[in-house]
Each structure stands twice: as structure tokens, then as C-alpha cells.
Amino acid sequence: MTDSKYFTTTKKGEIFELKSELNSDKKEKKKEAVKKVIASMTVGKDVSALFPDVVNCMQTDNLELKKLVYLYLMNYAKSQPDMAIMAVNTFVKDCEDPNPLIRALAVRTMGCIRVDKITEYLCEPLRKCLKDEDPYVRKTAAICVAKLHDINASMVEDQGFLDQLKELLSDSNPMVVANAVASLTEINEASSSGQPLMELNAATMNKLLTALNECTEWGQVFILDALSQYSPKDEREAQSICERITPRLAHANAAVVLSAVKCLMKFMELMLADSEFVKNLTKKLAPPLVTLLSSEPEVQYVALRNINLIVQKRPELLKHEMKVFFVKYNDPIYVKLEKLDIMIRLASEANIVQVLSELKEYATEVDVDFVRKAVRAIGRCAIKVETSAERCVSTLLDLIQTKVNYVVQEAIVVIKDIFRKYPNKYESIISTLCENLDTLDEPEARASMIWIIGEYAERIDNADELLESFLEGFHDENTQVQLQLLTAIVKLFLKRPTDTQELVQQVLSLATQDSDNPDLRDRGFIYWRLLSTDPGAAKEVVLAEKPLIAEETDLIEPTLLDELICHIASLASVYHKPPSAFVEGRTGLRRALPKSSGGSEGESGGEQQQQQQQQPQQQQPTVIPNQDSLIPDLLNMDINPAPVVPAAQPAFTGGTLDLLGGGLDSLLGGGGGDIAPAAAPAAANNTTSAGLLGDIFGMASGGAAIYTPPKQVWLPANRGKGMEIHGTFARRGGVITMEMTLHNKAMQPISQFAIQLNKNSFGICPASPLHVPAPVAPNQSIDVSLTLATTGPVQRMDPLANLQVAIKNSVDVFYFATVMPMHIFFGEDGAMEKRVFLATWKDIPSQNEVQFSIENINMNVDMTSRPPEASNLDANLHLDGISNKLHSSNIFTIAKRNVEGQDMLYQSIKLTNGIWVLTELKVQPGNTTIVLSLKSRATDVAQGIFEAFDGILHC
């Protein structure tokens, strides 16, 4: 009878029966009992109560029984750590057993029992097993070191196990070598030091290559992965390694084949692209990759994802193997879509007829997703292979004639791209497209059709009627369609202004007045402004010549592609993402391909340089990132931006229309025209007016320190992958600076810093590139200062002084937001004449006055317990102190007076964008609360002004 009988019986009192059987004197009965225990454990029963009885069964020579007991121990040791210690002596004794199978079994089990108390006793037996005479024991012990490192990393390092593992790389047995490599690789990935544990030199490489031919398939995978991280010293060594790896391409295991391909792809980078060796290697690489496509669908999919990367890096590898990527009727959809993608990448003038014939067949399939992708693929072929464009357009027209709704819609989307790629070439088909207008119900297809009508409105007689038909349900349309319709109607108006004026007014009204979408509203206002102020400029902007679209719109970014090539045969190559994107807690060393060989020494290098000079450089296809991955404005980062020269700030006028449509005229400088002229002389004679104020009010000139808020944590280390940023803003001598402290809490140096600021309410932008003098070493900090200008693009933020920052370094790009203190926008030309101050205060409506209380102000002297004359003197001194503090931050005191025992200070402030703010401070002698009243045509700034006063007066 088979062992299945142990899983069929369940009865009451079974535990008690098993207990008695486990303590039986008969070996067979004891073995039967242990089997029943293991069966119960396997089906989920709790048999932990039998722990002492099962452990007693360890004292046996029967290998089968010992294996069963060890299996039980591995399962229950964690829940019964105190009792598991009872087994330690047996483990230690078994590690010295004459039978190598028992020695290996003991050390393997001890490595699997994750109990700290047992781990302490494992060290000595493990050390002996690593030097055991039997290779089976040594290879088991090598894996046990990795398990022990996972439990207690410091112990492994302290006990010298890593050195013993490295010695095993020179072992005579290939399986021991393979397991040592696997163990070191695992430990290296888990290590936080970032330093490679294996020193890959020529001698080590030779040993690994020798072991490669004789170990198991998974051992070969580990060794090949280690080989791929080696950097040969020259081309000859790379060729030698490639020759010894090449036989692995014929292996039956797909993992071994892909690991060998990874190594060869890396070492080929070190060789001349046109060398005979590379050509021969290229021919050898194709057949094994093709063979992988005859495996089961799951393996096919993994192979196809890897081939997708390989074809992007070296398209010549499989250029003659197009037919193997043709879709079979019984392929799963995920395999079909991958094959289709690779077909497009391999499409060329030589095989385009074949490819188009296949794609046309696919477009008549029943699977809707596959048909859509096939139709899009036809359009991509037209864009990629210019000679096939006419044939592709003809094929698309044939598909449109089928009147299948989703086919027609996909065809229109790709025809729009073809028009962009080949302007003034295939526009004769527009009439055919217009016939299908009523059948379009998908946003992308409707938007594409609207773009075609707007772009070629002069060729379509009834373009206005067609666009008007879309306008009827404007509010029900998708945002993409609304934006495209707005632009198309404006284009139509610029081309035929006489009979479309009413239409353009209607769409602008719908976009700006009846829409809640900020993108649509903003675009509507911009078009309205352009059309109302300068139609000529509008024509230049809206009807500007479009740039040709790229050949390949879904290529992986080159740096990422190089990294993914180094991860072929891993999950990263299937996801097409670096490991750091989906594996948490494993930093590891970032892999990259070696720099391509520019030629060997002497003549070959000169020849190659000469060839490059003679041949015109081919334009590389632009990589257009996926729309989902874009973060607006901030990802447009220039690593080494040119220094920004602050331009003179343009004068603001009050009569311009507000583009942002949110009542921001005054914020962007409007509405202040009556003040600016009066303030201009004050700005020119700033020092004179300050001196005058000193004479009138008895103020000391330049006494108070300039206020700078304390630094805050802008980017914590856990979000910055080890980089922590503390920062603040300051204004000194009319220059705004961003003061930062960069802390490196990572394990490797950080360098290559660059910064970019998003559009903001005050036009803040870098006046020069971010300069970090040297790489920031681990656990080191460095202070940097970035000069800022106020000449950048303006966009209303919430909160008003919010600033979005992107900072790039050698690790990644990081994003954070901070609120700028308002005092940095206080200009040095903010001193206003008394008469102008009074007239302006009266002129600003009373509803624009905002009041705040500033509490807990230190009055410095106790004015309640002193004679009246002394109190008055102290009060004046205190007011002077307040005025001095405010003056140091460009808040200029214009006058002061005393009303019913309250001291009043009046100040003027001019922001960098031309907004004026007038303030009144009420100071009650003996009271620690000061009342701040402020008036401005832009009340949005009130909260920020109050926070500035609060910070300055408390410093």
C-alpha cells in the first residue's frame, strides 16, 4: 500500500495513540507513527504537542526516519524554540556521522531552523562541513551559509564564513563551486555595504568557466550570472570567455540559454561591431532564441519579453527570422501581442510586404484587443518604413471599408499619425474618413478625426458643419475631445475667418465660462487673448508647422535598456523595469553595460574614426515616454542646464486681461498702476529715504539682523533613497537664495546634482545651475546655496507661495514641495512717500483690509512699573526696535503716531511682481500682542504677509 493511507484516517484520540506509538520500542511502528504525524502536519492539523516525542526519534540510524523527524523540526521549531534546543546535540552529533548524507541532512536542517538560540550552535558544525571531504556535504554547507546570513548577518561575517565560501570557488567539484557562487550572490544582494563579495579576476573566471560545463543546469545559471558581472580587461579576453560560454546556447533549459545570451550581449559591447567575431556570434545567437519560441506558452512569453529587449539593442540579431514571430491561431493573447510588437521592431524594406500581408489577416480576427493592436501596427509600419507608407494607407482604407466599428476607429487614429509623418501626401483620403464620422464613439478616434478636420480645414468644404456637429454635445465629450475641438475650431477660424466667427465665439464661451476643467479653461483664455490682441501672432502660434513624429514611439530609454540587458533571464526583463522599481529593500549595485568599444589601438581606431567622419550621422529615433509616466513640467530636466541670466523684470500694467481667469490680475501686477509711478523715485533714492526716516523717527540705520527662517526637512531620507535635504530661503542685498544642507545617509557617494523648479506664483527660477563642489560621501553633509531669479513662468499655486522642486542626482530624480516665506519677495524699492501712502490707503476698498494678531512679542522692558516719562522713552525705543527689524526685511516704516495710548506704525511693502501691500501695526504698551492690519488689491497675499511679520518679530 502507498503512503496515501496516512492522509485518509482521522479519528478522535489520535494524538494520544500517536504519542504511545512514537515511544514504541519497535522501529517500524515508530517510523509509521512519524509518517502519520507528518501527514497530519501536511493537511494542517496541529501536532506540536508531540514535539518531545518526535525529537526522541532522532536517535536512529534509519535515514528515512531521520529525514521525517528533521522535516517535523523545521516546521515546529519556530513555535517551540525552547524545546527545539533539545535537538541540538543530535544535530551536532549527526554533523560528524560517517554517512555523508546524514552529515549534509543535519547541516541543511540546522540552516532551515530559524531560531536564534540554535544558530549559535550551528557555527562549529558548519565550519567543519565547509571543509568536509565529501563534495555533497560541502555544497550543502555552502547554501547553509546564505541561510545563516539571512538569520544573522553579523555572525556570518565575524565567524569568517565568507572567506571560506570564497575558498570554495576554487573547489575541485563543479557543484560545490556553483553553490558557492549562488550563496555569495544571494548574500551580496542582501548586503547593505554595496561592495561585491566575489573578486572576479582572471583566475577566478577560469575556475568558474571550468565548472560551468559539469554542474547542473541551475548551477550553470548562477555561474553565468556571476560571469555577466565580470569586466574583461581587453577584447581578446572577452572573445575567449564568449567562446567558452557559447556551447551553453544549445542547452535544453531556457534559463541557461537566456543567461548565456545575457553574458554574450554584455561582452559583445567590448568588441568592434563590424568584426568577424561579432558577426559569427550574431549568427549563433539567433537559433537558440528561435528555439525558445517552440516551448509552452508561458516560456514563450518570457522569451518574447527578453527578445523584445535584445531586438531594441541589436535588431540585426533576428532580422532574418521574421516568420517565427508570425502569430499562430492557438497562441494565447499575451503571446500574440508580444509577437506583434517584435514584428514591428523587425519590420524593414526587405520584409515589409510579408509583414503587411500578415497584419491585414490579423485585422480580421475575432479578438478585439488583438485586432486593434494589429491596425495600429500597420500605422507604425507606415511611419517606420517610408517606402511602405502608400501600401499601408491603402491597407487601412480597405479596413475602413469593412465598416467594422472598432477597426475604423483604430484606422483613423493611426492615419492621423501618418498625416503628421508625411504632410501633404495622403490628404486625398480625407473625404473617405469623413464618411465614417457618425460611427465614431471612442474619445481617441473622435479627437483624431477632429484634428484632421481642423488641420486640413481649407480642403474640406463643410468643415464648419462637421465641427459644429461635435459642438452640440460639447459638455458630454471627453476632455481629450473638448481640447481638440477647441483647437480645431480656432484653426478653422484663422483659415476662414469670415464665416466662422460665430462658431469660434461659441466654443470659446463654452470652454471659458461653462467648463469646470482648468486645462480647457486655460487654453480657451489663451486663444481668446491671442485672437483679441494679435490675430497675426495667433496664426503663427496655432498654425505653426508641426514637427515630424518619431519613427519609434515606444522605445525604452537607452540607459534603462542597457540596465535591463544586464538583467536578461530575470523578472526585470519581463516587467521591463529595473529591480529597484518592484523589489523593496534590495538596493544592490546598479548594473550597466560596458561602454561600446570605439575600436582597438592603432590603425583600427583611426579607420573607424575616419569612417564616422565620412558617413553622415544617422538621426536616432526619439524616445517618446509613455504618457502615464510623465510628471508635468518637472521631468523635463536638463542635467547640465545653461546658466540662467536674470533678465530685467518687465513693468506690469493694470490694463491687461487676466490669462489665468481666477481674479489674479492684481497678483500678477495688475491694478497697481497708480502706485508704481510714485514709488519709482523712492526706489531710485532708497538710501536717501531710509536716511530721512532715520532722521524723522530717530531710527538707527542698519542695526537689526536679516531674518532667515530656520531650515526644515524638505526631503526625508526614506523618500530620497538615502539623501536628506534640509533647507530654507533667504534674501540678502536684493538676491534671493535657496539655502540647502544635503545629508547623505546612503551607503554610496552621491553626485551629479541638478535642480529644476516648477512654474509658481512668483516666477521663481534658478539664476544659475546647482553647484555641489564634490560627491557627497556616505554619512557626510554639505551646505549649498542656489541663487534664484523671479523671471520664470508664472502659474497660480495653492497655497500661493508653494514651490514644487525636482532634484536629480546619481541615484534618481526626487520631487518635493515647500512653501516659500513671503519676505523673500519684499523688494528694496518698497519705501513709499507719505502722501502716496495716505492716498493709496484710502483708495483701496475697506473690504480688502485684513486683520491678524501677532502674539507673545517680547517687549524687552517692563513699562508698567516705571515712571511715565521713562515708559514713554522705553516705548519709543521698543517701536524703533520693531521698525529696525522690519526694515532689515524691506518692510519700510512710513510714519508713526499715538492714538489713545496705542502706538501705530505704518509700513509699505512692494513684492517682486509689482504688488503693493500697506500695513498698520497697533502696539499697546505692556501688551505682548500686536495687531496687524494690511491692505492690498491682492488679498491672496495677506496670509503670507502675516506669517512673514510673525517670523520677523519673533526672531
Q: What is the mean pLDDT of residues 309-338?
A: 89
Percent of the chain whose predicted confidence (pLDDT) is above 70: 82
The per-residue pLDDT for 876 is 54
Strand, helix or coil at 651? coil
The per-residue pLDDT for 586 is 55
Name the amino acid, one letter, at 855: E
Residue 899 predicted with pLDDT over 90:
no
CA pair distance 457, 132, nearest whole angstrom:
85
Residue 677 predicted with pLDDT over 60:
no
The per-residue pLDDT for 871 is 46
Q: What is the mean pLDDT of residues 601-627?
A: 40
Residue 647 predicted with pLDDT over 50:
no
What are the tens digits of pLDDT across the range 656-672?
333 333 333 332 333 33
Contacts of residue 491, Cβ cutoff 8 Å, sequence gap at least 6? 454, 455, 457, 542, 543
The per-residue pLDDT for 826 is 92
The per-residue pLDDT for 118 is 72
The per-residue pLDDT for 875 is 52
CA pair distance 302, 568, nearest whole angstrom:
10
The per-residue pLDDT for 300 is 92
- The CA-based angle 342-347-353, given to 5 degrees, is 125
Rounded alpha-carbon distances, angstroms, from residue 792 to 649, 798, 839:
10, 18, 33
Strands 802-808 and 916-923: unpaired
Q: Which segment of 321-325, 664-668, 716-720, 789-793 scores lowest on mean pLDDT? A: 664-668
Cβ atoms of 892 and 907 closer than 8 Å: yes
H-state helical runs in 801-867: 834-843
Cβ atoms of 934 and 917 closer than 8 Å: yes
CA pair distance 309, 315, nearest whole angstrom:
10
Residue 867 predicted with pLDDT over 70:
no
Residue 257 predicted with pLDDT over 90:
yes
**Grid coordinates given for 761:** 506664483
Q: Go through the chain and tell me how many residues it has.
A: 955
Residue 439 predicted with pLDDT over 60:
yes
What are the tens digits of pLDDT across the range 267-279?
888 888 788 888 8
CA pair distance 630, 641, nearest whole angstrom:
20
Strand, helix or coil at 754? strand
Identify the H or E element spanning 384. helix 368-384
CA pair distance 598, 327, nearest whole angstrom:
39
The per-residue pLDDT for 738 is 93
The per-residue pLDDT for 877 is 53
The per-residue pLDDT for 2 is 56
Residue 232 DSSP one-character state? -
Percent of the chain whose predicted confidence (pLDDT) is above 90: 17
Residue 931 predicted with pLDDT over 80:
yes
3-state secondary structure 699-734: CCCCCCCCCCCCCEEEECCCCCCCEEEEEEEEEECC
The per-residue pLDDT for 718 is 83
**Grid coordinates given for 295:** 516551448
The per-residue pLDDT for 903 is 86
Long-range contacts of 439-442 (CB under 8 A, 24+ apart): 439/403, 439/405, 439/408, 439/409, 440/408, 440/409, 440/412, 441/405, 441/409, 442/406, 442/409
Residue 48 predicted with pLDDT over 80:
no
H-state helical runs in 633-708: 676-684, 686-697
Rounded alpha-carbon distances, angstroms, from residue 867 to 862, 863, 871, 874, 876:
11, 8, 6, 10, 14
pLDDT-based confidence at residue 626 (cuts at 50, 70, 90): very low
* Residue located via cell numbers 534603462: 560
Residue 648 predicted with pLDDT over 70:
no
Residue 627 predicted with pLDDT over 50:
no
**Grid coordinates given for 185:** 550572490
Q: What is the mean pLDDT of residues 475-500?
A: 89
Report the 10 Å Cβ neighbour count for 640: 7
CA pair distance 269, 797, nearest whole angstrom:
48
Rounded alpha-carbon distances, angstroms, from residue 726 to 744, 752, 781:
12, 18, 10
Residue 685 predicted with pLDDT over 70:
no
Residue 846, burial from CB neighbour count under 10 angstroms (0-12, 13-18, 19+):
exposed
CA pair distance 829, 272, nearest whole angstrom:
65
Angle of helix 297-313 relative to helix 254-268, nearest 10 degrees? 0
Residue 643 predicted with pLDDT over 60:
no
Residue 663 DSSP one-character state? S
**Nearest alpha-carbon partner for 485 in 503, 499, 497:** 503
Angle of helix 368-384 relative to helix 389-401, nearest 10 degrees? 150
**What global pTM score does this model have?**
0.58
What are the tens digits of pLDDT across the range 359-416?
988 888 888 888 989 998 898 888 888 888 888 898 898 888 888 888 888 899 989 8
Q: Which residues pair with 739 in a beta bridge?
A: 728, 785
Q: What is the DSSP string of 66-99?
A: HHHHHHHHHHHTTT-HHHHGGGHHHHHHHTT-SS
Residue 664 DSSP one-character state? -
CA pair distance 291, 286, nearest whole angstrom:
9
Strand, helix or coil at 902? strand
Residue 219 predicted with pLDDT over 50:
yes
More confident residue, 616 or 533: 533
The per-residue pLDDT for 465 is 87
Residue 500 predicted with pLDDT over 70:
yes
- The CA-based angle 391-393-398, given to 5 degrees, is 95
Contacts of residue 108, Cβ cutoff 8 Å, sequence gap at least 6? 140, 143, 144
What are the tens digits of pLDDT across the range 762-778?
999 999 899 888 888 88
Q: Which segment of 545-549, 586-590, 795-799, 869-873 scores lowest on mean pLDDT? A: 869-873
What are the strands of the beta sheet with 802-808, ordered from one edge? 754-757, 802-808, 813-819
**Grid coordinates given for 953:** 518679530
Identify the H or E element spanning 568. none
Residue 501 predicted with pLDDT over 60:
yes
**Nearest alpha-carbon partner for 92 in 64, 123, 132:** 123
The per-residue pLDDT for 618 is 40
pLDDT-based confidence at residue 237 (cuts at 50, 70, 90): confident
Q: What is the mean pLDDT of residues 80-96?
A: 75
Strand, helix or coil at 23? coil
**Grid coordinates given for 304:** 518574447
CA pair distance 575, 299, nearest whole angstrom:
14
Averaged confidence pLDDT in the chain: 79
The per-residue pLDDT for 65 is 79
Q: Which segment of 179-188, 192-201, 431-440, 821-830 scores lowest on mean pLDDT? A: 192-201
Q: What are phi and psi of 862, to 5 degrees?
A: -90, 105
The per-residue pLDDT for 404 is 86
CA pair distance 8, 782, nearest whole angstrom:
70
Q: What is the mean pLDDT of residues 567-582?
A: 88
Cβ atoms of 423 and 447 closer than 8 Å: no
Q: Which segment of 35-49, 591-605, 833-847 scores lowest on mean pLDDT? A: 591-605
CA pair distance 890, 892, nearest whole angstrom:
6
pLDDT-based confidence at residue 14 (cuts at 50, 70, 90): low
Q: Which segment of 155-164, 251-260, 333-342 scores lowest on mean pLDDT? A: 155-164
Report the 10 Å Cβ neighbour count for 885: 20
The per-residue pLDDT for 789 is 93
CA pair distance 514, 508, nearest whole angstrom:
10
Q: Which segment of 79-93, 299-313, 715-729 scores lowest on mean pLDDT? A: 79-93
Residue 675 predicted with pLDDT over 80:
no
pLDDT-based confidence at residue 697 (cuts at 50, 70, 90): very low
